[in-house]
Structure 1
Amino acid sequence: MAARQQASAKLEALEVRNIRNIEALGLDPSPGTNVICGANGQGKTSLLEAIYLVATTRSFRTHRLRETIRHGTDGGSAKARFEDMLGDREQVVGLTPTQRSVRVDGQRPASLAQYAVKTPVVVFHPGELALTMGPASGRRTLLNRIALFFDPTTHAVQHAYGEAMRARQRLLQVQGPQAQGLEAYERLMVEHGMRITRFRQDVAEKLANVARGVLDQATFGSLRLDARYVPGGSLDEQEECKRLVASRSQDCRRSSSTHGPHRDEFLLEINGASTRTDASQGQHRLLTLCLKIAEMVCVGQARGVNPILLLDDVSSELDAERTEAFFDLLGHRNEQVFLTTTRAEMLSVFERKMGETNVFWMKGGQIGGKPW
């Protein structure tokens, strides 16, 4: 892909305390490519997780943040100094088993969403293959994540929709389909649901257009991507209200809502065949990489700066030839990259494809100067 002349977010310094098997660690990365090399179980992925945590307030490995806290301690933290076209800032995330605290330059942000879009980060890890072969929830999360950078209020809209949906369901379960108050919750579901549908449709179109071009380039046109956003409800407000009323009895029996954006699907097909059922393992890997590159492009367009790229053990998913092909797809950009590997022999490939690399050797949750 052609390089985009656009500023990039940079991590200038990182301090990690009691995250996974990292007791205390400081890192001063280069603004270019940073390779974290070491044997399995030494903390390489945990280091990437800490970067992701301090940028987004979330983990890419678990929904339960207490699992990221080092065993036997009462809390963990990640502190980073980031730089982009808006200047330098310090971001801090602190964790206890029951709480999460965030600060930007010592101040509490207005919301977690406002914090999470300050420093754009895109991660690729082996679990990302679920994007093409897994359930629709993973693809909805991808659309939501990108939408957040275009409009941080989308997070609040999704929260409000979920609250209304759960309140309606509780009322159905307790008082049945004729309960007073159902209509009010259904109006809220439709109001917020329509907004969710609109922003997901917009993001799905942007993402599909970029991914389609990347796949076409990667396969010289031999594989064609068709991607369609399929709403889980009607696109007509009045029609959706009628559907919710008509589905009350069924929703009561099933203990879940039949219609709405929580049922949305982002369908992916290669050459007319569903990726979930018909794609080969190699096609899944390739399409996932294309989607992640498309995510990078979309987030960069939304935020105005290229995101930091975290690549967890890409070389274990791909052989040397495909690893080189992947970096060719990335193109010669100016993103800051952090990648992990267990394979020291891949260092020459990384340097050839990504330019000068800064290598950190990791063992026992510590950064050292020598190979293990």
Structure 2
Amino acid sequence: MGFRRVAVYGYRNLQDAAVDTGAEEIFLVGENGQGKTNFLEAVYFLSFGSSFRSAADFLVPRDDGKEFSVRGIFQDSEREIDIALKYQGRKKEIRLDGKQIRDRKELVSNVPCIVFTHGDIDFVAGRPERRRWFINQIMSLFNPLFIDLLRSYNRLIKQKNQVLKEGPASLLDSYDLQIARAGLEIQRRRRETIQDFNRTFSRLFGEISRFSGELTIEYRPSWKAAEDEEHVVRLLASQRGRDLDQGMCTSGPHRDRIRFVHQGNDYVQTASTGQLRLISLVLRVAQSIFFSEKTRKKPVLLLDDVLLELDLERRKRFLASLPAYEQAFFTFLPDEPYREYRKPGTLILQVKSGILTPV
């Protein structure tokens, strides 16, 4: 079923209102700048407790206000959930069925959501940390406990970096052992996940693109030859001089590399912008399918103007490739042929000046 209703208050340019969204598919139709993406972002807040556009929550309140809130009623085959998020005085409070939650990872397991945006091209052609972020999200969706492991590792790296800058150096051996233990576990899980994920991604990309030859994701861990904790500790010790000079830990999972390979070569170096965009779309579809296979749950999909750069045939193949979902929100410009994609139960909402009106 998905979200039956989404209510917003003080949210960007959206009118304060409760919007009925009780349909498997919702088409948000309007010109640019009218509020389509803002509404998708509000739904995303209910799934992750954060925005997919910015980490700065203080930018969300309308007209330089100090607060905003989002509330949604989510229903699947098992239960109904009331999710409420309120931001006030630079503090955020999230309640699940009236009970305040302390960790946003509790939302991920309750309302799984996958968003498709133009910014996803960064997972293909952007900085290495964006590719690592995407792989981490894949893993966190089906195993929220991975979030704890990642947080622990990042905290250790931050603490070690402080010691590298300020001392005392006597603490470094202790940090290296803990970093080796957590880092090897992250490396192991990333390797296994990417190997598993490739089966879905490569097949999908071939079907949608009709591309000649297989495109795969290649994992290049920072600790290439690491065998065990002792090996990594020795490696970190050998790099200590460099780390002290730079004031940071220069190896580990936070420096892993991930690339897209075709016939042994880095495909991103020769691909067109259209091909890069297609890879980013397929990544998200594969992520949705992978999540469903791992959890036996159906995600909520948010698709923000992602069909614009595909030709008609690729649009059809892309839409046909989408997995079973609990609910899907699509955004369209008025002159797009969105009515060709609608189903008998599709809800079409016109979006103009922040007001959503059923058509």
TM-score over 0.5 for the pair: yes
Once the two structures are TM-superposed, the CA of residue 120 in structure 1 deviates from its matched residue by 0.7
CA distance in 1, matches of 2:40, 2:83: 16
Partner of 2:177: 187
Normalising to structure 1: TM-score of the pair? 0.90
Aligned to 2:133: 141
1:74 touches 1:96 (CA, 8 Å); kept in 2? yes
Equivalent position SS for 1:317: coil
> Given the alignment of the two structures, is residue 361 of structure 1 paired with residue 350 of structure 2, yes or no?
yes
Shift of 1:99: 1.7
Aligned to 1:3: none
Output aligned runs, 1:169-318, within 5 Å.
169-175=161-167, 179-220=169-210, 222-233=212-223, 234-318=226-310
CA change 1:283–1:273 in 2 (3 A) is farther
Q: Identity, % of aligned pairs?
A: 26
Aligned-residue offset at 1:199: 2.1
Over aligned residues, Cα RMSD in angstroms?
1.9
Count, aligned residues: 357
Name the residue aligned to 1:71.
63
Q: By how many angstroms is 1:369 displaced?
A: 4.3
Segment drifting more, 161-170 vs 222-231: 222-231
Aligned-pair CA distance for 1:110:
5.4
What is the CA–CA distance in structure 1 between the aligned matches of 2:193 and 2:89, rounded to whole Å?
A: 34
Contact 1:149 1:303 in 2 (8 A): no
Q: Secondary structure at the match of 2:338?
A: helix
Q: Distance in 2 between the 1:275 and 1:134 partners?
A: 13
Mapping 1:327-342, distance limit 5 Å? 327-330=319-322, 333-342=324-333
Tell me the CA shift for residue 30 of structure 1: 3.5
How far apart in 2 are the matches of 1:188 and 1:71?
A: 46
User: Is residue 2:74 matched to residue 1:85?
Assistant: no
Task: Give the distance between the partners of 2:52 and 2:289, measured in 1 at CA.
Answer: 19
Could you say which residue in structure 2 is the equivalent of 1:100? 92
Separation (CA, whole Å) in 2 of partners of 1:238 and 1:287: 38
SS in 1 for 2:287: helix
8 Å contact kept, 1:268–1:275: yes
Deviation at residue 84 of structure 1 after TM alignment: 1.7
Q: Partner of 2:3: helix, strand, or coil?
A: strand
Moved more, 40-49 or 183-192: 183-192
Amino acid at match of 1:360: L
Show structure 2 runs of 5+ residues with no match.
none
Tell me what 1:5 maps to.
none
**Partners of 2:305 and 2:89 in 1: CA distance:** 28
Inter-CA distance 206–359: structure 2 relative to 1 (3 Å threshold): same
Alpha-carbon distance between aligned partners in 2 of 1:300 and 1:97, rounded to the nearest angstrom: 38
- The separation in 1 between residues aligned to 2:239 and 2:84, in whole angstroms, is 45
Please tell me whether the aligned partners of residues 56 and 117 of structure 1 are also in contact (alpha carbons under 8 angstroms). Answer: no
Is 1:30 the counterpart of 2:22? The answer is yes
CA distance in 1, matches of 2:213, 2:18: 44
Residue type of the alignment partner of 1:358: L
Gaps of 5+ in 1: 1-8
Match of 2:124 among 114, 132, 142: 132
Residue 115 (str. 1) matches residue 115 (str. 2): no
The answer to whether the 8 Å contact 1:211/1:290 transfers is: yes
Name the SS of the counterpart of 1:41 in structure 2.
Answer: coil
Partners of 1:37 and 1:344 within 8 A in 2? no
- Conserved 8 A contact 1:14-1:80: yes
Q: CA separation of 1:104/1:338 partners in 2, compared to 1, >3 Å: closer, same or farther? A: same
Amino acid at match of 2:351: M
**Distance change in 2, residues 1:155/1:129 (3 Å):** same
Partner of residue 349, structure 1? 340
Query: Contact 1:57–1:102 (CA<8 Å) still a contact in 2?
Result: yes
Deviations 1:116-162 (A, max 9, x none): 22111111011111111112211211111121133222111111111
Give the deviation of 1:293 after TM superposition.
Answer: 0.7
SS at match of 1:343: coil
